[in-house]
Structure 1
Amino acid sequence: MYFSLLQMSRERQSDLIRRLVWGLRPGGGLVLATVPADVEDVEVVFMGQQVRATSFATEDLVSLVSRAGLAVESKHHAMITPAHPDAVPEPHLFLYCRQKETQSTA
């Protein structure tokens, strides 16, 4: 997933992540990418357009995916400048996750 979460409320982001984990095959992987920031419904300029954005701080997103059943295998932070003449570098976070092993009740 690449930035589609930013335009959803925190509640909707959390729900979607739980649904995505539920849909993974056992041991399946998921990569989440976002702009890590502790912001909720703020107006930002992206690619020259005003948009509303909501995000989580890195630690909060890691906690959210863990509660949803994912193990974070690695985190990658990068500064990326979008391909737009008015763009400025912005922080990006990539979480490489794998579905946690489930305990079998035999």
Structure 2
Amino acid sequence: MSGSDGHGAYHGAYGSFDRASIDRSGQAEAFDAIGDRYDEAFPHKEGQIAAGQWLADLLPPGSRVLDVGCGTGLPTARQLTDAGHRVTGIDVSPAMLKLCHDNVPEGEFLRVDMADLESSDLVPFDGAVAFFSLLMLPRVEIPFALRMLHEQIRDDGPLVIAMVEADVDDFSIPFLGNTIRVSGYLRDDLRRIVSEAGFEIASEDAYAYAPASTDVPPEIQLFLHCRRRP
């Protein structure tokens, strides 16, 4: 796989874009400040647990699973580990990674930006999950990130994606006393982007979700259960 040319431009078999124009400032710092308050604000994760179970049941015990934007490790890294899989989680927030190590000491957790997966030393995985991590990217970067995930998964392995349904691009919102920037799609557009990245959508679920925190608005959560097209 190819990587950077030294100037922030990435060139892969699936296209290129100039990363120098992407503003990632403040995103990791916000989640460092939020820490374990994230789990307090989102105590009911039935959709995420169901989607994680779908993937866990598809894979034989001992499979290697990539958790993109692993957060606190709860519930997903813990769930997949308890199901007998070997989890590698990546995140840009050192505070979240510390919580992952505490909550799931059996896992491997690395400070890696998902946009750097192409140039990382990680070997392909049997499956992957990306729960609400792609929404932290600007729209121009999301197709690129999905295609990199395609390269990180073996054969016809599964990928589960969770996004918030919203027609926004790199939009600033208040979030647990901090400001983060998020992107989203309406569901037909999300299906198209995922399909164009080389995945077949096997099934999907949608949940109306009202977080426990009053400064985080209600949302529609979309869960896409996908298989990689070799």
Structure number with higher strand proportion: 1
Q: How does 1:76-87 map to 2 (within 5 A)?
A: 76-87=205-216
Deviation (angstroms), 1:49? 2.8
Deviates most, 70-79 or 85-94: 85-94
The structure with the greater share of residues assigned to helix is 2
Q: TM-score by structure 2 length?
A: 0.41
Aligned position for 2:136: 7
Contact 2:157 2:227 in 1 (8 A): yes
On the 8 A contact 1:47/1:82 being kept in 2, the answer is no
Instruction: Compute the TM-score of the two structures, normalised by the length of structure 1.
Output: 0.84
Shift, 1:52, TM fit:
1.4
State the SS of the aligned residue for 1:37: coil
Q: What's 1:92 paired with? A: 221
Q: CA deviation at 1:86?
A: 3.8
Aligned to 2:162: 33
Is the 1:75–1:94 Cα contact (8 Å) retained in structure 2? yes
Which residues of structure 2 form unaligned runs of 5+? 1-129
User: Counterpart of 1:56?
Assistant: 185
Distance 2:201 2:133 in 1: 19
Q: Which amino acid aligns with 2:168?
A: V
Q: Which has the larger radius of gyration?
A: 2
| 1:98 Cα offset (Å) | 0.4
Give RMSD over aligned pairs: 1.5
Percent of aligned pairs with the same residue?
37
Q: Give 1:4 deviation, angstroms.
A: 1.2
Tell me if structure 1 keeps the 8 A contact 2:174–2:215.
no
Counterpart CA distance in 1 for 2:183 and 2:216 is 19
Alpha carbons of 1:20 and 1:77: their partners in 2 closer, same or farther (altered >3 Å)? same
Distance 1:86 1:10, change over 3 A: closer
**CA displacement 1:10-41 (0-9 Å, x = unmatched):** 12111110010111111100000010111112
> In structure 2, do the counterparts of structure 1 residues 2 and 12 end up closer, same or farther at CA, with 3 Å as the change threshold?
same
- Choose between structure 1 and 2 for higher RCO, CA contacts under 8 A separated by at least 6 residues: 1
Superposed displacement of residue 85, structure 1: 4.4
Structure 2 CA distance, aligned partners of 1:5 and 1:19? 12
C-alpha distance after superposition, 1:33-55 (max 9, x if no partner): 01011111222223343221111
